[in-house]
Structure 1
């Protein structure tokens, strides 16, 4: 058992984590970690960022943020993620050794007593977990699996996973790629969750804005926002009152705004920037349709699951999305979804127009109960707890 109480300790290693309450950075690692406090004493080891506290307790989770650079240099992980930041500014590779070493040192201090480690992403948290003397489970969220495919990163991934007790991937679409790195018997599909009990739920009596199309996500190649922009003139030709709201930020923001101007969409498309999860509900409830034109990036990166689809559907918002493997875990048997050929603005426009023109019936409304069965956070956390406890017990039997 851990020093402070009767629960085993779970050391969570992450490269992306909310910097403060209601941050716009992805929150799924925190949402899972806080629910795992039923089974574990949870401590998260994540990188420090400007404006964040070095140490704090968030929703029962002890968060330790390690320094890996001087003020102004801790810019490796936020505003797009590690892979995006390294591509945008190659000099940031100089930050990687310190980033890894300092996470290892911070995690090593927590290895007292009965401990299991949960590493989110194969690289770099998975590498840190591999170098610790503790049982560990690795969760891949997509970019770490689909991108970084050259010889050295692939060898490094195999090195990490060789010692893992098990690996989880967040969709069935990832199984094939994961099996290239690890024995399939050690891989489980276990998605992240969505708060479908209180937050992402339909609002009784809420009126949707006619013709309003919504996109939520990072402005990176794999999200396909440029395809959506090219579809908009064709949507407007048939529904002149249509509008598009883009919620998110990322390295393509300026080029997408320039494309808007070239397409004459200045009064039609609104970029609102990043928004915390707590504010997304209002956007989902107001939109007539949610657009998710996902595509494979030139690097090979692609969507791991697409939880924004679940958030939109949870709020009762119909979805038009590209037919890529990752979305099939959401789309299977789910009313309220139109799946179209990826990277084709004309087909996307047809799907959006059809959805905007359709009177929503009970048969076409998203099935909230079905979403709960697949993505409810409490069920997701229970699955991860069983997996992590199993890894811990396997260690104690040795």
Structure 2
């Protein structure tokens, strides 16, 4: 009989509610690629319409309840927990039952079975929940914490700083998705040897690939993502009138949802560009490649939000790159780590809608430059950020965090 695989418990607040959900799937995509090395159970919040227990692609999924089912939407379909709170102060009423529900669910899971390792996605809330639950359950299982950006950059003040430091110090290993985030972690006084930079991955070999049979539309702009401040969609809408002066048939598709959608719709109508903007809403992962393959340009005017929140890693632009779509993006630190200005994309200063309009107009008028940028970007990113190579790096990180007796020879 072969040795049993180490048992890994994954904690997350962002996870598909069902197969091919519109919710971001990156935790699911990573976890399912680790099932060859680990026996994995995912603990995630329940949502309206979801099952409480199921198996997805070899993952055992447990969804914990925390309120009346129809109102269990704090972590889904609205830009994530932080943006749900900013959008509606009444959502703060869900925070205590959410934290209690996840902590109690984790205590029960820890007491029922033996676990070799916990992998907590986000410092807060999952990291702090893991810290508290392990102590209350008197379970010494080691933990690895992955920060994705907003939990590290946006949560400010002494209390949050102390919470983040406590989680990081209690973690056997820490991963962040960009070098800029590593610097932020080290500034909290964390041992550099514990911290590793590993981005999330993209399926650049099967799903997000070019298709020569699909023709790109003329003057078609595309944005995909949550409609929250750090994405900068308002800047894109402010830039569009200037673009329309140069190319009157330009059309913008916005695929995503979030708390700023009503405000952005009003801005489009007030600017007289409503007929040129299609708010598509949340789009299933299976439908995204077709959008990327048909767009002339993918535009992502990333910025640093007033709260300090910013992209930890440009996952969606990498999907566009995989499909051969040229990019115009805001030049935040994390994006500059992935691609270079005028070599794989056009990077513009954040919060500068005039520069954004100028860059879009220039690329719409230069097909050869668009093709060069798209080809160079795909060549640079295809091997470095495909899920297969990223999953190998995460598997190594997690195995290094296992107690010596649980590490099996490879």
Q: Which TM bucket (shorter chain)? A: over 0.9
Deviates more, 1:155-164 or 1:49-58: 155-164
Give 1:167 shift.
1.0
Give 1:75 shift.
2.2
Deviates more, 1:154-163 or 1:360-369: 360-369
**Distance in 2 separating the partners of 1:105 and 1:7:** 26
Is 1:383 equivalent to 2:398 in the alignment?
no
- Of 39, 42, 61 in structure 1, the residue corresponding to residue 40 of structure 2 is 42
Give 1:102 shift.
2.5
- Asked if structure 2 preserves the Cα contact closer than 8 Å seen for 1:314 and 1:366, the reply is no
**What SS class does the counterpart of residue 160 from structure 2 fall into?**
helix
Is 1:163 equivalent to 2:170 in the alignment?
yes
Q: How does 1:63-212 map to 2 (within 5 A)?
A: 63-78=61-76, 79-111=78-110, 112-131=113-132, 132=134, 133-181=140-188, 182-212=190-220
**Distance in 1 separating the partners of 2:67 and 2:259:** 22
**What SS class does the counterpart of residue 42 from structure 1 fall into?**
strand
Deviates more, 1:75-84 or 1:342-351: 75-84
- Asked if structure 2 preserves the Cα contact closer than 8 Å seen for 1:11 and 1:116, the reply is yes
Task: Indicate the RMSD between aligned Cα atoms, in angstroms.
Answer: 1.9
- Of 363, 366, 369 in structure 1, the residue corresponding to residue 375 of structure 2 is 366
**Distance in 1 separating the partners of 2:244 and 2:9:** 51
Cα-to-partner distance string for 1:295-353 (whole Å, 9 max, x where unaligned): 11111101111111111111000000011101012214884411111111110011111
Q: 1:395 to 1:356 in 2, by over 3 A?
A: farther
Give 1:5 shift.
7.2
Q: Which consecutive residues of structure 1, in runs of 5 or more, have no partner in the other structure? A: none
Specify the alignment match of 1:324 in structure 2. 332
Specify the alignment match of 2:137 in structure 1. none
- Asked if structure 1 preserves the Cα contact closer than 8 Å seen for 2:11 and 2:42, the reply is yes
- Asked if structure 2 preserves the Cα contact closer than 8 Å seen for 1:68 and 1:99, the reply is yes
Cα-to-partner distance string for 1:5-26 (whole Å, 9 max, x where unaligned): 7111110000111000111111
**Distance in 2 separating the partners of 1:326 and 1:179:** 16
**What SS class does the counterpart of residue 39 from structure 1 fall into?**
coil
Is 1:260 equivalent to 2:268 in the alignment?
yes
- Asked if structure 1 preserves the Cα contact closer than 8 Å seen for 2:7 and 2:116, the reply is yes
- Of 291, 294, 311 in structure 2, the residue corresponding to residue 303 of structure 1 is 311
TM-score in terms of structure 1 length: 0.95
**Distance in 2 separating the partners of 1:88 and 1:353:** 33
- Asked if structure 2 preserves the Cα contact closer than 8 Å seen for 1:135 and 1:395, the reply is no
Is 1:20 equivalent to 2:18 in the alignment?
yes
Give 1:203 shift.
0.2
How many residue pairs align between the two structures? Answer: 395
Cα-to-partner distance string for 1:177-211 (whole Å, 9 max, x where unaligned): 11122222211110000000111000023210010
- Asked if structure 2 preserves the Cα contact closer than 8 Å seen for 1:305 and 1:329, the reply is no
- Asked if structure 1 preserves the Cα contact closer than 8 Å seen for 2:250 and 2:276, the reply is yes
- Of 211, 228, 237 in structure 1, the residue corresponding to residue 236 of structure 2 is 228
Deviates more, 1:242-251 or 1:172-181: 172-181
- Asked if structure 2 preserves the Cα contact closer than 8 Å seen for 1:335 and 1:366, the reply is no
**What SS class does the counterpart of residue 235 from structure 2 fall into?**
helix
Cα-to-partner distance string for 1:359-390 (whole Å, 9 max, x where unaligned): 23664333334212221101111111111111
Q: Which consecutive residues of structure 2, in runs of 5 or more, have no partner in the other structure? A: 135-139
**Distance in 1 separating the partners of 2:399 and 2:108:** 21
Q: 1:354 to 1:394 in 2, by over 3 A?
A: farther
**What SS class does the counterpart of residue 201 from structure 1 fall into?**
coil
Give 1:242 shift.
1.0
**Distance in 1 separating the partners of 2:406 and 2:211:** 48
Deviates more, 1:179-188 or 1:109-118: 109-118
Cα-to-partner distance string for 1:32-53 (whole Å, 9 max, x where unaligned): 0000001000100000000000
TM-score in terms of structure 2 length: 0.92
Cα-to-partner distance string for 1:110-158 (whole Å, 9 max, x where unaligned): 4433511100000011112223231111001001011011111111111
**What SS class does the counterpart of residue 368 from structure 2 fall into?**
coil
**What SS class does the counterpart of residue 246 from structure 1 fall into?**
strand
Is 1:282 equivalent to 2:290 in the alignment?
yes
Deviates more, 1:87-96 or 1:339-348: 87-96
Q: 1:395 to 1:350 in 2, by over 3 A?
A: farther
**What SS class does the counterpart of residue 144 from structure 2 fall into?**
strand
Deviates more, 1:86-95 or 1:336-345: 86-95
**Distance in 2 separating the partners of 1:248 and 1:226:** 14
- Of 9, 17, 20 in structure 2, the residue corresponding to residue 11 of structure 1 is 9
**Distance in 2 separating the partners of 1:216 and 1:149:** 28
**What SS class does the counterpart of residue 44 from structure 1 fall into?**
strand
